[in-house]
Amino acid sequence: MNLSRHLISLAAILALLLAACASDGPARLEPESMPKSAPVPPIATVRPHAVDSPHGSRSDEYYWLRDDTRSSAEVIAYLEAENAYKAAMTAHTQALEDKVYGEIVARIKQDDSTVPYRLRGYWYYTRYETGEEYPSYVRKAGTLDAPEQVMLDVNSMAEGHGFFQVGATAVSPDNRLLAWVEDVVGRRQYTLRFKDLASGAILPDSIPNVDPYLAWTADSRSILYLEKHPETLLGFRVRRHVLGTDPAQDPVIFEQQDESFYTAVAITKDERYILIVSQSTVSTEYRYARADDPALEFRVFLPRERDHEYHVEHLDGRWIIRSNWNAPNFRLMEAAVGEEGDRSKWREILAHRDDAFVHGFDVFRSFLAIEERSGAMRKIRIRPLDGGRDFFIAADEPAYTASLDQNPELDTQVVRYEYTSLTTPSTIYDYDIRTGERRLMKRMPVLGDFDPANYRTELVWAEARDGAKVPVSIVYRAGSRKDGGAPMLQYAYGSYGATMDPAFSIARVSLLDRGFVYAVAHVRGGQEMGRRWYEDGRLLRKRNTFNDFIDVTRFLVKQGYADGQRVSAMGGSAGGLLMGAVANLAAGDYRAIVAQVPFVDVVTTMLDESIPLTTNEFDEWGDPTKKEYYDYMLSYSPYDNVARQAYPAMLVTTALHDSQVQYWEPAKWVARLRTHKTDANPLLYRTMMEASHGGRSGRFQRFREIAEEYAFILDQSGIGE
Catalytic residue among 60, 405, 658, 715: 658
Tell me the one-letter amino acid at 165.
Q
Which secondary structure element, helix H or strand E, spans residue 577, and what is its range? helix 574-585
Contact of 494 with 486, CB cutoff 8 Å:
no
> Is 658 a catalytic site residue?
yes
- Sequential DSSP letters for 613-639: TTGGGHHHH--TTSHHHHHHHHHH-TG
Specify burial of residue 637 (Cβ count, 10 A radius: 0-12, 13-18, 19+): buried
First to last CA, the chain: 45
At CA 38, angle to CA 35 and CA 44, rounded to 5? 145
Helix (H, G, I), strand (E, B) or coil at 396: coil
Separation CA 423–CA 542 (nearest Å): 31
Burial letters 170-200, b for 16+ CB under 10 A, else e: bbbbebebbbbbbbbbbbbbbebbbbebeee
Segments of 337-463 assigned E as strands: 347-350, 357-363, 367-374, 377-384, 391-392, 401-404, 414-420, 427-432, 438-443, 455-463
- Structural Rg of the chain based on CA atoms: 26
3-state secondary structure of 161: coil
CB atoms inside a 10 Å sphere around CB 498: 16
In sequence order, what are the residues at sequence separation of 6 or more whose Cβ sits closer than 8 angstroms to the Cβ of residue 257? none
440 vs 117: CA distance, rounded Å:
14
State the catalytic residue, choosing from 573, 692, 697, 717: 573
Has 352 been annotated as catalytic? Answer: no
DSSP conformation class of 685 = E
Question: Residue 553 carries which side chain, given as an amino acid letter?
Answer: T
Q: Give the distance from CA 700 to its chain's centroid.
A: 18
Active site residue 161: no
Cβ atoms of 466 and 544 closer than 8 Å: yes
Helices (H), 119-272: 154-157
Which of 495, 657, 693, 717 is the catalytic position? 693
User: Which value, to the nearest 10 degrees, does the dihedral of the CA atoms of residues 682, 704, 706, 658 take?
Assistant: 80
Contacts 24+ apart (CB under 8 A), 44-51: 44/6, 44/78, 44/667, 44/671, 44/674, 45/5, 45/6, 46/675, 51/603, 51/604, 51/607
DSSP 8-state class, residue 104 = H
> How far apart, in whole angstroms, are the C-alpha atoms of residue 176 and residue 368?
31
Residues with active-site annotation: 573, 658, 693
